[in-house]
Amino acid sequence: QMQLRESGPGLVKPSETLSLTCTVSGGSINSDYWNWIRQSPGTGLEWIGYLHHSGTTNYNPSLESRVTISMDMSRTQFSLRLTSVTAADTAVYYCARRKIDVAGAYYFDYWGQGTLVTVSS
Amino acid sequence: AIQMTQSPSSLSASVGDRVTITCRTSQGVSNDLGWYQQRPGKAPKLLIYGISFLQSGVPSRFSGSGSGTDFTLTISSLQPEDFATYYCLQDNNYPFTFGPGTKLEIK
């Protein structure tokens, strides 16, 4: 059974960089799409972007200038970097796998439990 | 970006009731529409993908339908564990977008 778990600082100062890691157990990043999604009371669920197993990335245009999603060489972890954070980036951050089935339908099946990141001085 | 609306935003119902939640997209999303259930303090859980495919392990009282820009999630007979918030998600166009959610509460 695959499991995903987010880790990283729970508090980041304004203007600094938010860095989170998602550890994948029971599988690897050798296939599928690996996503970051966040949730805050003010903006609901927001897709941040994904890393395809080939190394291709796709980001939400609203965050694209500040976001990087990358893969660890072990291919069991992927990371999120969000630069120049403000209070508006305070949210619960989730990592999730997006997969395609044999019929060509996509779905987000495995999610981490989420980690709260607060931006405050 | 594709805009998503859901109705109702909240709903009170009783165990055994049949409920329907609607999701509307601002443009067509083909069959790339899914439904997720979220309980407080937990991650979203996949219920339905590809408009109508039931995720493995999800009870058959959940079903999805629709086409074009209008989609529905139906719970045929509410169980106590179904009281949660439900979100639709389109992943046909970038950026992927979620609906604002429908909170299902016990009457």
pLDDT in tens, A14-27: 999 999 999 999 99
Three-state secondary structure of chain A:
CCEEEEECCCEECCCCCEEEEEEEECCCCCCCEEEEEEEECCCEEEEEEEEECCCCEEECCCCCCCEEEEECCCCCEEEEEECCCCHHHCEEEEEEEEEECCCCCEEEEEECCCEEEEECC
- Residue B30 is predicted with a pLDDT of 94
pLDDT band, residue B26 (cuts 50/70/90): very high
- pLDDT tens digits along B61-101: 999 999 999 999 999 999 999 999 999 999 999 999 999 99
Q: Any chain B CB within 8 A of the CB of A102?
A: no
- pLDDT tens digits along B33-64: 999 999 999 999 999 999 999 999 999 999 99
Q: A-chain residues within 8 Å CB-CB of B94?
A: 58, 60-61
Looking at per-residue confidence, does B4 or A55 come out higher?
A: B4
- Residue A75 is predicted with a pLDDT of 82
* Residue B43 Cα, gap to closest chain A Cα (Å): 5
Chain B interface, mutation test: which of A65, A108, A110, most B Cβ atoms within 10 Å? A108
Q: Do B43 and A114 touch (CB under 8 A)?
A: yes
Chain A interface, mutation test: which of B91, B97, B102, B103, most A Cβ atoms within 10 Å? B91
d(CA A17, CA A84): 6
* Residue B96 Cα, gap to closest chain A Cα (Å): 6
Q: Widest CA span of chain B, in angstroms?
A: 38
- Residue A42 is predicted with a pLDDT of 79
Q: A-chain residues within 8 Å CB-CB of B50?
A: 101, 103, 105-107
Identify the weakest region by mean pLDDT among A12-16, A70-74, B74-78, B103-107.
A70-74
Q: Any chain B CB within 8 A of the CB of A42?
A: no
Which chain A residue is nearest to residue B36, measuring alpha carbons?
A: A108
- pLDDT tens digits along A27-54: 989 889 999 999 998 789 999 999 998 9
- Residue A41 is predicted with a pLDDT of 82
Q: Do B49 and A103 touch (CB under 8 A)?
A: no
List the single residue in A61, A106, A112 with the smallest CB-CB distance to B95: A61
